[in-house]
């Protein structure tokens, strides 16, 4: 029975897309890592709680297939701020978040990091 569960999770991992814009923050990447941890011995991995394993799989399938999005369709494709899904994806991209983090730094700190050979954390001691 563990072999069947393992194959189902592998199939789900293959189908789950990986978003290249979210480096180290993508649900598909985390899913693959967690499956690799949970099934270290592959098909021979003993499963201590089969019901919880099946429930986790079914929940992930519902997320992957947009079950609730299809069951409860929205009237508009925006949220209360008026931002669309594509705008949210763009804002949450790793590159944009990094740029925003750089913008938060003050001028003095930027200059110090640029001209200093030390790490910025070393100066605060």
* pTM greater than 0.75 (yes/no): no
Q: Which whole number is the average pLDDT over 91-119?
A: 69
Q: Which residues contact 96 (CB under 8 A, 6 or more apart)?
A: 90
> Domain boundaries in the chain?
1-73, 77-118
Q: Cβ distance 17 to 28 under 8 Å?
A: yes
Report helix angle 2-15 to 50-64, nearest 10: 20
Q: What is the pLDDT of residues 14-24, one digit of tens each?
A: 998 887 777 77
62 backbone dihedrals φ, ψ, rounded to 5°: -65, -40
**The length of the chain, given as a count of residues:** 125
Cα distance between the two ends of the chain: 57
Q: What is the pLDDT of residues 116-125, one digit of tens each?
A: 765 555 555 4
Rg, C-alpha atoms of the chain: 21
Q: Cβ distance 25 to 58 under 8 Å?
A: no
């Amino acid at each position: 029975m563990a072999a069947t569960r393992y194959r189902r999770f592998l199939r789900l991992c293959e189908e789950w897309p990986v978003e290249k814009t979210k480096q180290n923050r993508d649900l598909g990447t985390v899913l693959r890592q967690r499956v690799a941890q949970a099934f270290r011995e592959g098909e021979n991995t003993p499963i201590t709680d089969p019901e919880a394993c099946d429930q986790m799989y079914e929940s992930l399938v519902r997320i992957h297939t947009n079950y609730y999005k299809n069951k409860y369709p929205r009237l508009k494709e925006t949220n209360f701020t008026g931002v669309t899904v594509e705008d949210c994806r763009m804002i949450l991209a790793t590159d944009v978040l990094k740029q925003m983090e750089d913008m938060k730094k003050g001028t003095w700190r930027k200059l110090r990091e640029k001209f200093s050979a030390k790490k910025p954390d070393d100066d605060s001691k």
